[in-house]
Amino acid sequence: MSLHEPVLRYLTSSPFLAASAIFIVGLISGYLLGQFVKRALRAIGLPGVVEGTAFERSARGLGTSTVGLLSQLVAFSVYLGTTIAALDVAGVLVMAAVLPFFAAFLPQVFIAVLAVIAGLVVGDKAALLVSEHLRGVKLPEAGLIPTLVKYSIFYIAGLIALNQLGVATRALLILLAAYVFGIIFLGGLAFRDLLSAGAAGVYLLLNEPYSIGDEIRVGDRTGIVQEVDLFVTHVENDGTEYIIPNQQILREGIVRIRD
Amino acid sequence: MSDLRELLGGLVSEVDAVFLFSPSASFYESFEDVDDALVVVVAPDDSVGAEEFVELPLEFSDVSSRVRYGVEGAMDQELVDDGDEIVCAVKTFDEDIDTVMRVKASNFSPSGVYGLFVNSRAEPAVIRDVLEVAVELGKKGQKGKPVGALFVVGDAGKVMNKSRPLSYNPFEKSHVHVGDPIVNVMLKEFSRLDGAFVISDSGKIVSAYRYLEPSAEGVDIPKGLGARHMAAGAITRDSNAVAIVLSESDGLVRAFKGGELILELDPEEY
């Protein structure tokens, strides 16, 4: 009885002890939260998704993994928060002076780091997916496309991160806008014929005004239909095969020859 | 032991090319230093990154078809010449390469099995898919009973004009391609219908229930095969199509091209 009271009074009165209590609770909860994040990320299958990306590989080179880095990031921000709180309680730090700074800055740093990690992983993964799709195309220049996709995503991720940190990014934004506009405008220009052929092809495939084996005339080309796909129709006549874009067929009209 | 080495050494002496059939990466690497003979890999895909490569569209289960395809493919790609001597390292029983045989390139002609896949109008993948469907059908049959089927692949426009419908076409206004997972089931169900399946160059199933009306003049197929095979041989002679037949009586899958029997497979062996 005589021992309890002084101890209790000491516990409540001493700022150092309360601070260290906060600090210990922070350590434990940070560690637990980190483990929880790690497990949650594993459960949603993140390790399988990031497998084979450059970021994962370099993380593995450092003896950790993407999942490990993310969970450590979460744990670290909890440690930092509780450390500041503990220092405040201990009276070493004047909260009123540093709080606005940390409250404003810490979450932004956190999000910026997240954006960079996500950008690195997504960019690599997108490049992998694109190059897998292009593997059938045996053209050396096709290797440029995955790289372009990768760096576009890196660029956007970097832009988000810098924006979070409050760095002036207007020039970079204008560059991005010009880039996107160029892709859409030039892409539209380049794929104009394919788009209109595809639209016509949808009609031809759904309604089948003619089918394989029919004899048709388009313009001055007469022959037997050999194949209809989304973009072109193959019409064959005595060893000559006309491959006619579908929009041209719709524009010129189809003459079916029956006898 | 050295006598045995000398005896078997004759098998590989003075050869022009070594053909490795589906080698493992380490097995292929051990051949990298071979200077006096050309090393050719024959496999379904070029996983070892070989320079000289012949793609196998089908894992032929019998060794002679596999070797035949590989050598014919290499001749077509002009990797080997008519008079070349070739050593083939093949898998026969094991999971690894366990057989070595020596063949002469002059025993093969490029118009054979290789030409059936590569030099046909239809894409090689389409022919492979149709062969697989036929093999599957031959293995299982329709509800346990043996069935026959006739697939005409490629040059569909001409085939359609040389045939007439026996009934309504169940594939009208549909856009199914062989190789789609649903198709195996559909084709199995439709195989009890009479008549032929017509498949286009790109693998679209154009029609079922077709009665083929080619002129059977000058078609030379082995005697004893029935009307289905005769029709298959004749249509391939009359058009640029390839015909794949599953025989109802003996259960074999046969492929015809240009009016001739090119390939014979036993579904039970796959």
Query: Do the Cβ atoms of A213 and B160 come within 8 Å?
Result: yes
Residue B141 shares a structural domain with residue B246: yes
Residue A15 shares a structural domain with residue A96: yes
pLDDT: is A25 or B61 the higher one? Answer: A25
Cβ(B267)–Cβ(B260) below 8 Å: no
Residue A6 within a domain: no
Question: Which residues have a Cβ under 8 Å from the Cβ of A7 and sit 6 or more positions away?
Answer: none
Residue B149 shares a structural domain with residue B70: no
Domain boundaries, position B96 = 2-115
Lowest mean pLDDT among A134-148, A233-247, B136-150, B156-170: A134-148
Residue B11 shares a structural domain with residue B140: no
Residue A236 shares a structural domain with residue A127: no
Out of A213, A224, A227, whose CB is closest to B201? Answer: A227
Residue B96 shares a structural domain with residue B221: no
Residue B154 shares a structural domain with residue B188: yes
Say yes or no: B155 contacts chain A, CB-CB below 8 A. Answer: yes
Residue B17 shares a structural domain with residue B151: no
Amino acid at A186: L
Distance CA A126, CA A180 (A): 17
Model pLDDT for residues A89-130, shown as the tens digit of each residue = 777 666 667 777 777 777 888 888 888 888 888 888 888 888
Q: Pick from B91, B115, B139: which residue ends a domain?
A: B115
pLDDT score at A146: 85
Out of A205, A225, A227, whose CB is closest to B202? Answer: A227
Interface of chain A against chain B, CB under 8 Å?
205, 208, 211-213, 215, 224-227, 229, 234, 236
Domain boundaries, position A238 = 210-256
pTM assigned to the model: 0.69
Residue B94 shares a structural domain with residue B143: no
Say yes or no: B226 contacts chain A, CB-CB below 8 A. Answer: no
The alpha-carbon gap from B8 to the nearest alpha carbon of chain A, in Å, equals 41
Task: Give the CATH number, domain containing residue B147.
Answer: 3.40.1700.10
Out of B157, B172, B202, whose CB is closest to A236? Answer: B157
Residue A93 shares a structural domain with residue A181: yes
Tell me which chain A residues have a C-beta less than 8 angstroms from the C-beta of B155. 226
Q: What are phi and psi of B164, to 5 degrees?
A: -135, 155
Residue A3 within a domain: no
Out of A208, A224, A229, whose CB is closest to B157? Answer: A224
Q: What is the ipTM of this complex?
A: 0.74
Residue B185 shares a structural domain with residue B254: yes
Model pLDDT for residues A25-49, shown as the tens digit of each residue = 888 988 998 889 888 888 888 887 7
pLDDT band at B17 (very low <50, low <70, confident <90, very high): confident
Say yes or no: B157 contacts chain A, CB-CB below 8 A. Answer: yes
Residue B163 shares a structural domain with residue B230: yes
The alpha-carbon gap from A223 to the nearest alpha carbon of chain B, in Å, equals 9
pLDDT score at A242: 93
Looking at the structure of chain B, the number of domains it has is 2
Across chain A, what does the average pLDDT equal? 84
Cβ(A218)–Cβ(A255) below 8 Å: yes
Give, in degrees to the nearest 5, the angle at Cα A48 between A42 and A54. 115
Residue A232 shares a structural domain with residue A117: no
pLDDT score at B160: 92
Model pLDDT for residues B162-208, shown as the tens digit of each residue = 999 988 888 888 888 888 888 877 877 777 778 899 999 989 999 98
Q: Which helix (H) or strand (E) holds B82?
A: none
Residue A73 shares a structural domain with residue A135: yes
Residue A200 within a domain: no
Task: Name the residue with tokens 């015909």.
Answer: B243
Residue A160 shares a structural domain with residue A241: no
Residue A133 shares a structural domain with residue A65: yes
Its sign, for the CA torsion B11, B12, B14, B16, is positive
Looking at the structure of chain A, the number of domains it has is 2
Q: Which residue does chain A place closest to B204, by CA atoms?
A: A227
Q: Which residue does chain A place closest to B206, by CA atoms?
A: A212
Q: Pick from B68, B95, B115: which residue ends a domain?
A: B115
Tell me which chain B residues have a C-beta less than 8 angstroms from the C-beta of A205. 175
